[in-house]
Amino acid sequence: MLVKRTYTQEELTALLQRHGINPTAQRLEIARLLFARAEHVSAEDVFMLVNTAATPVSKATVYNTLGLFAERGLIREVIADPNKVFYDPNTAPHYHFYDVATGQLTDIDAEGVQITGLPSLPEGARMEGVDVIVRLRQSDRPTH
Amino acid sequence: MLVKRTYTQEELTALLQRHGINPTAQRLEIARLLFARAEHVSAEDVFMLVNTAATPVSKATVYNTLGLFAERGLIREVIADPNKVFYDPNTAPHYHFYDVATGQLTDIDAEGVQITGLPSLPEGARMEGVDVIVRLRQSDRPTH
DNA sequence: AAACCATCTATAATCATTCTAAATCGACAC
DNA sequence: GTGTCGATTTAGAATGATTATAGATGGTTT
Ligand SMILES: [Mn+2]
Ligand SMILES: [Mn+2]
Ligand SMILES: [Zn+2]
Ligand SMILES: [Zn+2]
């Protein structure tokens, strides 16, 4: 279970380095923000969040950094919405509720969830991960 | 299990009508093609396939028609690739392998697969469906 | 200081998808 | 047959997320 908290600059630096990422100012800033919120954010979200702070970061760098973080396993991509990729600072195995109306993603703890009976993988294939997305729609009639 | 076969014009017409869809020439053509292949296709795929035949169909109509079919439950959308939506003529519950390198989607029969221990849904939410996507990557070293 | 290399940035390009507004079509009425 | 009407289709423009380009910037090394 990922705990929402603030990391010191040293912890963030070590975190990036542990993943083979050169800890630049922009990358540290984006990492700080990702792990402070511990929520599912889009590139646009990150771009806006990072630019409420003092130092501006370009959109290109936001995309490059999120891509780099995902590639190095610091965060993971969640493909649930056809319009944008979500980035998830929680890389532990877990699943998602997706509210198709609002676009809200919510974690489902892997603890207790069992998926059995999956067929064996095609020849020569390695499993990268299993995504489970439970699509939800809020009932039209609100509880009164 | 969806069987790959050709439908008569009458069967297709009845199929659309059963889903509350006015069976126009373009819609019948697209439906015919979808159910003949019984594969996962993108809008672009459908656009190209439908335009190898005699009667041309516009891109706008392809998108409108696929959207309409999905909305009425004749086909389903699969969100697996961040770059495009796949449309699946198989609406029976089933899951997918997704080859992240090639973008290839392959069915996993729901038969035998069990997902247990999912938490109860948030208050007032209805489940629209459960998507399971097993992400695969072909091993770099080919079997020799 | 000059060279070097990684990174960052503004901006253009790409590309799937959606939007717009004008044709076209088909059923029905006259 | 001709006219009308609503539904559908269409070409093309617009949108928006993402990626590509190519030049600036910033440390670091000699
Ligand atoms: Mn999209
Ligand atoms: Mn995309
Ligand atoms: Zn998550
Ligand atoms: Zn399928």
For B9-81, which CATH class? mainly alpha
Per the CB < 8 A criterion, the answer to whether B105 and B114 are in contact is no
A16 CA to C4 C1' distance (Å): 24
Q: Which residues of A touch B108 (CB under 8 A)?
A: 118-119
pLDDT value, residue A39? 92
- Greater pLDDT, A140 or A95: A95
Q: Chain-wide mean pLDDT for chain A?
A: 92
Residue B17 structure tokens: 């009508």
pLDDT value, residue B3? 59
Please give the Cα distance from B41 to B104 (Å, whole number).
Answer: 10
For residue B109, the ligand closest to its alpha carbon is 4
Segment B14-42, tens digit of pLDDT: 999 999 999 999 999 999 999 998 899 99
Closest-CA residue to B65 (of B106, B108, B12): B12
Q: Does the CB of B101 have a partner CB in chain A at under 8 Å?
A: no
pTM exceeds 0.75 for this model: yes
pLDDT value, residue A143? 46
Tell me the domain boundaries of chain A.
9-81, 93-136
Q: Quick check: B136 and A113 CB within 8 A?
A: no
A61 CA to C2 C1' distance (Å): 28
Nearest to B134 among A108, A127, A138 (CB): A127
- In chain A, the residue whose alpha carbon lies closest to the alpha carbon of B131 is A133
Segment B83-127, tens digit of pLDDT: 999 999 999 999 999 999 999 999 999 999 999 999 999 999 999
Residue A133: Cβ within 10 Å count: 22
Q: For chain B, give the number of residues.
A: 144
For A24-32, the CB contacts below 8 A with 24+ separation are A25/A55, A26/A50, A26/A55, A26/A57, A26/A61, A26/A65, A27/A65, A27/A68, A27/A69, A29/A53, A29/A55, A29/A57, A30/A57, A30/A62, A30/A65, A30/A66, A30/A69, A31/A7, A31/A69, A31/A74, A32/A6, A32/A7
* Helices B59-71 & B25-37 angle (0-180, nearest 10): 70
For residue B96, the ligand closest to its alpha carbon is 4
Q: Quick check: A119 and B128 CB within 8 A?
A: no
- In chain B, the residue whose alpha carbon lies closest to the alpha carbon of A77 is B82
Please give the Cα distance from A126 to B136 (Å, whole number).
Answer: 6
Segment B35-84, tens digit of pLDDT: 998 899 999 999 999 998 778 999 999 999 999 999 999 999 999 999 99
Q: Residue ranges of the alpha helices (H) in B6-42?
A: 9-18, 25-37
Residue B39 structure tokens: 């594969």
